Amino acid sequence: MQKKVTKAVFPIAGMGTRFLPATKATPKEILTLVDRPLIQYAVDEARAAGITEFIFVTSRGKGALEDYFDRAPELEATLKAKGKTDLLELLQATNLDSGAIASVRQNEALGLGHAVWCARHLIGDEPFAVLLPDDVIAAEKPCLQQMIEAHAETGGNMVAAMEVPAEKTASYGVLDVPSAIGPVLPVHGMVEKPAPGTAPSNLAVIGRYILTPQVLRNLESHQTGAGGEIQLTDAIEKEIAAAGNVYGYRFQGRRYDCGSKAGYLQATVAFGLARDDLRDDLEAFLYDMLAMRQAAE
């Protein structure tokens, strides 16, 4: 029986350079998808998967992310006084209990592996989840929940994986798997951002992980990898030879890369179309735009 996964790390200390100039003064993770910041999608996914302790790895200028999950007594009182119960419920659903969020600082953006290592004292000696909030996943059953259920059978380390076109593999960590049948894939190797044409497969790692505390110990050496950054992939990769307990998990759902402008715009349209209150107007607008573009060609 595996120890239950109850802690999740949210690395939010990156600089978000792909989103400049917006991220000059606003954390990327507070950018809004329809009416909720990216970080809320990740926190809600973790809550639905049974996570009770939320660890934010932050940096300068990210205070808004912690405030967001706090109570807003004045706003709540005003909505209550005005009888706006729907809005009040919406607002209260964003509150996390006292003590549920802990945060640690990453003083310098040295890479995702380093960010996760910064949370080591709060994680202790138990398996934990990592969620990158700029990967937003639309799924019937939340992606992390799918993974936690699979992890209850396998134990070890698990990374979310999805197929990407061959020309995109250089942007991801890529899995070497002997067989790509079924959702749970034992991993024989991992390469962070392989040079074009050298990827071992087209299965890319995306921002959901369940990791053993040994991965934190592997990060202790602060070894740099691709791009001169301390890579989480490298620390997980070490466990393949040492323990043979790394699994890829092909989740059901669609992932949007909201750390890139194109992915963020696609997510905005997809999540807008999924909303009953927005669908009709948005759909009509999109048809109009397309018709106008076609007429202009």
By the 10 Å C-beta count (0-12 exposed, 13-18 middle, 19+ buried), 186 is classed as middle
Question: What one-character DSSP code corresponds to residue 107?
Answer: S
CB-CB contact of 5 with 124 (8 Å): no
Q: Which is nearer to ligand UTP, 17 or 32 (CB)?
A: 17
| Residue 11 binds to ligand UTP (criterion: CB under 6 A) | yes
| Residue 120 binds to ligand UTP (criterion: CB under 6 A) | no
Sign of CA dihedral 166, 265, 254, 143: positive
Q: Using CA atoms, how far apart are residues 176 and 245, in angstroms rounded to an integer?
A: 14
Q: Which is nearer to ligand UTP, 5 or 55 (CB)?
A: 55
Nearest CA among 129, 92, 122 for reference residue 8: 129
| Residue 18 binds to ligand UTP (criterion: CB under 6 A) | yes
| Residue 132 binds to ligand UTP (criterion: CB under 6 A) | yes
Binding mask 227-266 for ligand UTP (x = CB under 6 A): --------------------------------x-------
In the complex, least distance from residue 288 CB atom to ligand UTP, rounded to whole angstroms: 32
CB-CB contact of 9 with 55 (8 Å): yes
Query: Which residues in 37-76 contact ligand UTP (CB under 6 A)?
Result: 57
Residue nearest to ligand UTP (CB): 14
Stretch that binds ligand UTP, among 80-88, 104-112, 172-180, 277-285 (CB under 6 A): 104-112
Annotate 231-251 with b (16+ C-beta within 10 A) or e (fewer).
bbbbbbbbbbeeeebbbbbbb
Nearest CA among 125, 191, 127 for reference residue 157: 127
List 162's β-bridge partners, or say none.
204
| Residue 14 binds to ligand UTP (criterion: CB under 6 A) | yes
| Residue 111 binds to ligand UTP (criterion: CB under 6 A) | yes
Q: Which of 9, 30, 40, 106 binds ligand UTP (CB under 6 A)?
A: 106
How many residues touch ligand UTP (CB under 6 A)?
A: 22
| Residue 16 binds to ligand UTP (criterion: CB under 6 A) | yes
Q: Count how many residues are written for the chain.
A: 297
Q: Which is nearer to ligand UTP, 2 or 17 (CB)?
A: 17
Q: Which of 134, 192, 234, 239 binds ligand UTP (CB under 6 A)?
A: 134
Strands 157-163 and 203-211: antiparallel
Residues that bind ligand UTP (CB under 6 A): 11-19, 28, 57, 106, 109-112, 114-115, 132-134, 259
